[in-house]
């Protein structure tokens, strides 16, 4: 199976949603993707963030594919040790 842009766009990414304040103290909402640490999409409402984050995801994946950057898929081990099991 060829892992092209369409393949990656249709994966079940682990979304991390949150809210924060901008530099002027105004609230905004963000969506991050656990498997792509550099990814963050912001919008004024969570509805707009959910509606539009895939546009930025598509651009991010295009750059990653063109530069042969490894893309960690949902369910793949991130290579980090499980610190909770190591340190009681």
pLDDT at residue 10, rounded to an integer = 95
As given in the structure block, the two tokens for residue 34 are 């656990």
Q: What are phi and psi of 71, to 5 degrees?
A: -115, 115
Instruction: Please tell me which residue, 86 or 57, carries the higher pLDDT value.
Output: 57
pLDDT at residue 21, rounded to an integer = 96
Cα–Cα distance measured from residue 71 to residue 88, given in angstroms and rounded to the nearest whole number: 31
What region, left, alpha or beta, does residue 85 occupy, with left being phi > 0 and alpha being psi -120 to 50 degrees?
A: alpha
Cα–Cα distance measured from residue 35 to residue 80, given in angstroms and rounded to the nearest whole number: 12
pLDDT at residue 76, rounded to an integer = 84
Model pLDDT for residues 10-68, shown as the tens digit of each residue:
999 999 999 999 999 999 999 999 999 999 999 999 999 999 999 999 999 999 999 99
pTM of the predicted model as reported, rounded to 2 decimal places: 0.80
Q: Which of 54, 55, 65, 70 is nearest to 5 (CA)?
A: 65
Question: How sure is the predictor about 78, in pLDDT bands with cuts at 50, 70 and 90?
Answer: low
């Amino acid at each position: 199976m060829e892992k092209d842009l369409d393949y990656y766009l249709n994966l079940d990414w682990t979304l991390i949603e949150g809210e924060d304040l901008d530099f002027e103290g105004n609230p905004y909402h963000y969506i991050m993707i656990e498997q792509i640490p550099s990814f963050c999409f912001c919008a004024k409402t969570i509805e707009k963030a959910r509606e539009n984050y895939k546009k930025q995801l598509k651009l991010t994946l295009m750059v990653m594919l063109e530069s042969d950057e490894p893309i960690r898929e949902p369910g793949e081990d991130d290579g980090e040790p499980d610190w909770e099991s190591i340190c009681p």
